[in-house]
Structure 1
Amino acid sequence: MTDRDGDDDRDHRFSEGEGVDPSYEEFDLDPPELGVDPSKVDPVDSRVVTDTLDKHNIDSEDVDAEELLDVGLNYMQINRYEQATEAFERAAQFAEDDHTAQEAWINKGVAHAELEEYDEAIGAHREALRLDDTSEHAATAETNLAYALWEFGETAQALEHAERAVEIDERFAQGWFNRAFFLSERGLAEEALHCIDNAIRLGMRNARVLEEKAEILEELGEYDEAEEIADEANELRESAEQRLVEERREMQGHTPESAGGGQQRRDPQGGADVTDPGRTSDRDEEDWRLE
């Protein structure tokens, strides 16, 4: 065994130097291109680094915002709403024009509404309108904002934006339907009837719309006409359910049992697809999704 106690010359001495020159960038643990204030970063936000690096590592010219929009819509079709919100947010971030960015924000709002994240939906639609409140998509943004506000409990603001939607586009059927719904909820049945008739004349004739009209007619005391409209609504619903049964039978390769209708919640409409302003996805007859 070697006795090192008496051999001071062999003892190791730790470096007392000044360390690495600060100008040696390879050892810089806080690269300036990040530009992040740590005090403003949520430690549980798993996307903060990715989101920050995107702007620096990806040239906007290499990103097709239109393709990102399509990715988001495809996520919507398979009910992957969280992924859809992220795709739409990236599309808005990389969009080179306000028109595409507005589409992305509106669709992001719709996706948040599907997740019942109405506060986020409201913010997304407001951002879309901030970009352009008179564009071809502005009416869609307004009516979807009205829907989100209603679900969030801001009923007075909801009516204001529903009215704004039809002021922007008088041929926007879904806007007329939402305006009718909000007016009816306030007891303004005559005005509501006028609005819902406009929606029907513009092609929005489905079970949900006819049921709403029947309720408005009942409020006005027009019970016979209300009953006729309610019967027509039931026929349309049964027809839609039968089509759904047949589609499932074709997909599954066997004859299913008869399908029955469940209790439907009275609700304004949401979820207009901005790739086709004015087109809606009916919550009752199908799975209320973008198509």
Structure 2
Amino acid sequence: MTDRERDDHEFSEGQGFGDPYDPFDLDPPELSVDPDKVDPVDSRVVTDMLDERNLSKGEVDAEELLDVGVSYVHINRHEQAADTFERAAMFADRLDVEQEAWANKGAAHAEMEEWDAAIGAYREAIAIADEEDAERDPERASQGAPSSEHTATAETNLAYALWESGQTEQALEHAERAVERDPRFAEAWYNRGFFLLERGLAEDAVEAFDNAIRLGFRNAEILGEKARALEEVGEYDRAQEIAEEAEEMRERAEEELVE
């Protein structure tokens, strides 16, 4: 890099191009936007409009975009990940890929604690499954059916985002829907148990935690919540036993981390 010259040099303001050049515009007329509807400082607007004008869904590999978004997540660049997942959803020509893109976008916003944006993305992922009706629209059925796994994940993550934004009643509702979407989704059962316990429904919470554990979701966190629920229903001996097991698991995890 060469040394910069003096920074106090006064550049000529010039006279501009004058009237003959007024009609000249780098933007094609198709890209004109209504400033009442679009923020003129939103740098993504022109890019999105160019994408829609010049690229068809078949020209973009949405699954590769998903992989790029996941790579951004792995290096904690969640804002770029969210933008990439949104583009993947835009160009997806299969419903399952579009749904996964929206669910991942929600997760990226959640990492940044942008709960409103996360809620909106999760709702988009769920809407794809809600709108799918093979009997009514066979053409959509041929485009790759939405995944029950992705739908359940979106439901349970939506429940968490709603909880964080203070919408506790709706959080439990979507936690219930998550286990209905996929009864073998262990994390959904755990979240359902957590929200039930927070609402004072400790007995139902214990049952939900047991379901999660039976499905393989067993760690110190869920054991600690189950111990808390057992205390609420008066099963103090079992609660103490489970709490001790949870503490042992935490200690082992810390030792493994140190090693």
Q: TM-score range by the shorter chain?
A: 0.7 to 0.9
| Residue of structure 2 in register with 1:127 after alignment | 124
Deviation of 1:223 (Å): 1.5
Question: TM-score with structure 1 length normalisation?
Answer: 0.72
Deviation of 1:80 (Å): 1.2
| Residue of structure 2 in register with 1:198 after alignment | 211
Q: Is this contact kept in 1: 2:193–2:205, CA < 8 A? A: yes
Bigger Cα Rg: 1
| Residue of structure 1 in register with 2:153 after alignment | 140
Aligned counterparts of 2:74 and 2:251: Cα–Cα separation in 1:
24
One-letter code of the match for 1:131?
Answer: I
Aligned counterparts of 1:218 and 1:115: Cα–Cα separation in 2:
34
1:245 counterpart = 2:258: yes
Query: What are the residue-to-residue correspondences of 1:147-166 with 2, within 5 Å?
Result: 147-166=160-179
Deviation of 1:28 (Å): 4.9
Structure 1 window deviating more from structure 2 (51-60 vs 73-82): it is 51-60
Q: Is this contact kept in 1: 2:159–2:175, CA < 8 A? A: yes
One-letter code of the match for 1:132?
Answer: A
Deviation of 1:29 (Å): 5.0
Aligned residue among 66, 70, 81 for 2:67: 70
What secondary structure does 1:33 align onto? helix
Deviation of 1:205 (Å): 0.0
1:98 counterpart = 2:92: no
Aligned counterparts of 1:101 and 1:245: Cα–Cα separation in 2:
41
Aligned counterparts of 1:179 and 1:116: Cα–Cα separation in 2:
21
Aligned counterparts of 1:59 and 1:135: Cα–Cα separation in 2:
24
Aligned residue among 71, 81, 84 for 1:84: 81
Aligned counterparts of 2:122 and 2:78: Cα–Cα separation in 1:
16
Deviation of 1:39 (Å): 2.8
Give the fraction of aligned pairs with identical amino acids, expressed as a percent: 68
| Residue of structure 1 in register with 2:28 after alignment | 31
Structure 2: give runs of 5+ residues left out of the alignment.
1-18, 131-145
Q: Is this contact kept in 1: 2:56–2:91, CA < 8 A? A: no
Aligned counterparts of 2:194 and 2:38: Cα–Cα separation in 1:
42
Question: TM-score with structure 2 length normalisation?
Answer: 0.81
Aligned residue among 221, 227, 234 for 1:208: 221
| Residue of structure 1 in register with 2:141 after alignment | none
Deviation of 1:30 (Å): 4.8
Aligned counterparts of 1:191 and 1:38: Cα–Cα separation in 2:
52
| Residue of structure 2 in register with 1:108 after alignment | 105
Aligned counterparts of 1:30 and 1:39: Cα–Cα separation in 2:
19
Aligned counterparts of 2:230 and 2:127: Cα–Cα separation in 1:
38
Aligned counterparts of 2:164 and 2:71: Cα–Cα separation in 1:
25
Structure 1: give runs of 5+ residues left out of the alignment.
1-17, 247-291
| Residue of structure 2 in register with 1:58 after alignment | 55
| Residue of structure 2 in register with 1:251 after alignment | none
Aligned length: 224
Deviation of 1:210 (Å): 0.5
One-letter code of the match for 2:110?
Answer: A
Structure number with the higher helix fraction is 2
Query: What are the residue-to-residue correspondences of 1:9-24 with 2, within 5 Å?
Result: none
Aligned counterparts of 2:192 and 2:83: Cα–Cα separation in 1:
30
Query: What are the residue-to-residue correspondences of 1:170-249 with 2, within 5 Å?
Result: 170-246=183-259
Deviation of 1:237 (Å): 1.5
Residues 240-288 of structure 1: CA deviation (Å, up to 9, x unaligned): 2223233xxxxxxxxxxxxxxxxxxxxxxxxxxxxxxxxxxxxxxxxxx
When residues 35 and 95 of structure 1 are mapped into structure 2, their CA distance, relative to the original with a 3 A threshold, is: farther
| Residue of structure 2 in register with 1:255 after alignment | none
Deviation of 1:196 (Å): 0.6
